[in-house]
A and B are shown apart, each in its own frame.
Chain A
């Protein structure tokens, strides 16, 4: 064994630093790209900490020349939110998975927060953050970031928690057998194992985040409206001015930005995270990314990572040595502590419940509650009809596409792009159409709710159809199974579990979207449909907090109930009977 085959492990980067060879062509390209990015980030961050008055001195204008800067600010906000969501996930999901007591609180909370209409929150959080940094843009920025954060954090944390619960027993035993410290175990087992799912979820969340960017950059608190420079506020302004061209510019810019961070950020990460996929056999197809390949071919870039790995090593070096395995003290928990804890949890739940009930009841009459529930029924009908319609359209198409692998390869990224695209951008067109032909808003505003979420159905069905095993298709072909029999016995059962996943996401998203889709404005035209979404939106505009709270509560109940009573059983059925394994 020659020693230089294995660079000495303690300071691999250092030895590489000493042997520092000439930077290569890839270094030059990477340097240019990375410096560019750094300058852009700095430029955007500068704006984020300016005094609040700058917002009035330099109001958002519709000149396309400013658009790149606005886009930059928006993207920075989104990445700040993504960063916060990731931190939140790593801390809270790990805590929930590790500690029984923490899990008891965190898991149901995440489950509920996932179903809560996030847009309704805005009203409550903006005031808080503005008071945190009075007179500075940073407060408003943080409020906006928080809005995006709330759309990402819960499902990322939930996915991470579920990954940690699914850790392979044998690997856990190895860690325990070697008495790995919690930090080391986290770095060696938990984090790598959960990374692929987390990355995938972060991508999805980022797409979802766009929807909230548009809604959260122009914030109205009571009588004051604060407008942060960004694509969202640009778009809001364009809508206000009925300026089609500017809407077009904004849409184009958005497409560019999405493309850019997909190529420069998510693709490389997906390519990198592939190594953590838990499989014992080599996969045939590996995700590729030109940017990742470029970074890997550079010679000097690894130097940038030295501080990070040094921190990691320092962290590990600081923990005390543990030679002998300490047996877990399960079953020896003080029963009194256990009882006390349970009592505290229940008291907490009861207190929260009674406080909310009291708040709502003192400020609202039972008639209000009845009305909210009635409106929720209207929205429920809308969601169901829309899901059915979207399924009727996209299931056959998705199956057709999924069965043609080459077509699927091309359509899949488009569908994902469309899902990432904030559908609220397209609302003005609907308003114009409705106004021009004098259509009934109660019916014709409805499709807007599912505009952005229907793609989840499409790309899940595509994935399901491409996963139909070839032998099943050959059997169907051989016995000449076609028409309705083919759908009934081959295609529909095979895609069912995938379809349910897609429909579940689409339905949850549609409820949330109803808050912006049931009330739509284009310049002076103001259209409103009856529904819980409109109820919440109107209450927010009017600054009627009890009504907002009531609306959110009722909507959460409906979403949760719908998930528990419809989607979960269907999902369980699909897993039990139709999963091809």
Chain B
């Protein structure tokens, strides 16, 4: 297996992405998921794409893999002396193993497609399986393996075709914390020892610590539409220690950048036109988790003020979960995001110490004051003599402004919040909102 020197500055470009725009839905039109993305990947670097769900980072990864053809823009593989024929291989979040093939057959799949002779195929597959630490499991079927081992098979399958660039789509997020850590460390060891036949790694993640631990460079994406909002160089020497002050500082910094960007885009979405308030996409956050988050920040050791990184740590949450919660609190004026810190407002602290009914009342007030869609539904119900309204009508209204999926999610969220606050209720059988809740 080839060994590369991985020290030295990454200078030779490997992949160049220019002016990439991509939409979901049939052309022309559709929902913009990636906006104007430019990106160059160099040899000998690990690059992380960090962002929340809906930021299009997986779409970008698939564009580079050639699985998706972007609507506009170009993905170019750059040939060089080192790398005359740049190729890519991908590791999936869900492992994507064929359950009817053994470990070895799964690993050989890509070689088979390249028509590599059986002898060589076998030798290379065994070497890859060996490298990744699955020696002895060649004849096992995926269902006989644990999650961590399955992902090792996925990794071996990608490495065995000798790709120049290894693409990883949230490779550790389906694993438990301990397994993920082991696998990450093993991968980093192989990388720093230059034992993998690859030039570079591009990894998609929504785990900030994972990104800082693994990457030389991190690209932070905004969501809806996905755009590169920050590029962060990670100069911390390897192996990196999570508890190292520079490590912590960088994690905090990234949290701050992600919140800062969010704070600026929020008003843009809400209130450019009068009446577009109801078109706000509401993330699916349950009232229970909101209450839990308020209580957590209100209690010791945070006392109403917590850094996002510490919160993520203590609650064991990833960016994808934590940010929507924090932003919902901000939307309801229960909290403010200041840099990388979440600060509870006085009303949230009152909420934390209140009884169930008082909490509901406070939540209802906040909902009617700050969530236009909730206001809208409540007003319609109040105006009607029957105090009933078909959900279809609101769904249609939302779909004028957003995709069907977002409309469904937004309506689900507001239903959940409205029910909790007892400002309106919803009947699934009749698909209608009403006021007459059995009291």
Contacts and interface: CB of A to CB of B under 8 A. Distances in A.
Given A280-B142, A282-B143, A178 B100 contact: no
A178 B162 CA distance: 12
Interface in A239-295: 275-282
Nearest to A5: B138
A325 interface: yes
Interface string A173-203: 1101111110010001100100000000000
A9 interface: yes
Interface in B177-195: none
- Interface SS majority for chain A: loop
Contacts of B110: 177-178
Given A177-B89, A184-B112, A171 B119 contact: no
Contacts of A19: none
Contacts of A188: 98, 101, 109
A179 B113 contact: yes
Contact of B121 (A9, A174, A577): A9
A8 B118 contact: yes
A276 B66 CA distance: 28
Interface string B394-430: 0000000000000000000000000000000000100
B113 A6 contact: no
A10 B117 contact: yes
Contacts of A10: 117-119
B322 to A, nearest CB: 26
A6 B138 contact: yes
B98 A192 contact: yes
A275 B100 contact: yes
Contacts of A181: 113
A522 to B, nearest CB: 51
Given A170-B92, A177-B89, A281-B143, A330 B121 contact: no
A171 B96 contact: yes
Nearest to B88: A177
Contacts of B71: 331
A330 B100 contact: no
B431 to A, nearest CB: 11
A304 interface: no
A464 B65 CA distance: 43
B412 to A, nearest CB: 14
Contact of A173 (B90, B99, B114, B141): B90
Contact of B94 (A6, A170, A278, A279): A170
Most buried by A among B85, B89, B92: B92
Nearest to A276: B100
A23 interface: no
Interface string B106-136: 0001101111011101100010001000010
Contact of A168 (B96, B100, B104): B96
A278 B118 CA distance: 27
A8 B98 contact: no
Interface in A542-578: 577
A327 interface: yes
A107 to B, nearest CB: 20
A317 B95 CA distance: 28
B100 A192 contact: yes
A281 B99 CA distance: 9
Nearest to B109: A178
A323 B88 CA distance: 12
A382 B93 CA distance: 54
A328 interface: yes
Contacts of A324: 87
B79 interface: no
Interface in A308-329: 317, 321-325, 327-329
B67 interface: yes
Given A174-B92, A177-B89, A180-B113, A1 B66 contact: no
Interface in B268-304: none
A8 B94 contact: no
Contacts of A170: 92-96
B437 interface: no
B69 interface: yes
Contacts of B121: 9
B161 interface: yes
Contacts of A325: 66
Given A173-B67, A176-B67, A331-B27, A321 B100 contact: no
Contacts of B69: 327-331
Contacts of B161: 178
B144 interface: yes
A110 to B, nearest CB: 26
Nearest to B106: A174
Nearest to B167: A177
A488 to B, nearest CB: 16
Interface in A418-435: none
B113 to A, nearest CB: 5
A325 B85 CA distance: 12
Given A1-B130, A178-B89, 10 more contacts: A8-B118, A173-B65, A173-B90, A174-B90, A176-B66, A177-B66, A178-B109, A280-B143, A282-B143, A327-B66
Interface of A: 1, 5-6, 8-10, 168, 170-171, 173-174, 176-181, 184, 188-189, 192, 275-282, 317, 321-325, 327-331, 577
19 contacts: A1-B130, A6-B104, A6-B122, A8-B122, A171-B98, A174-B90, A177-B88, A178-B89, A178-B110, A179-B113, A189-B98, A192-B100, A276-B99, A280-B143, A281-B143, A282-B144, A317-B115, A327-B66, A329-B69
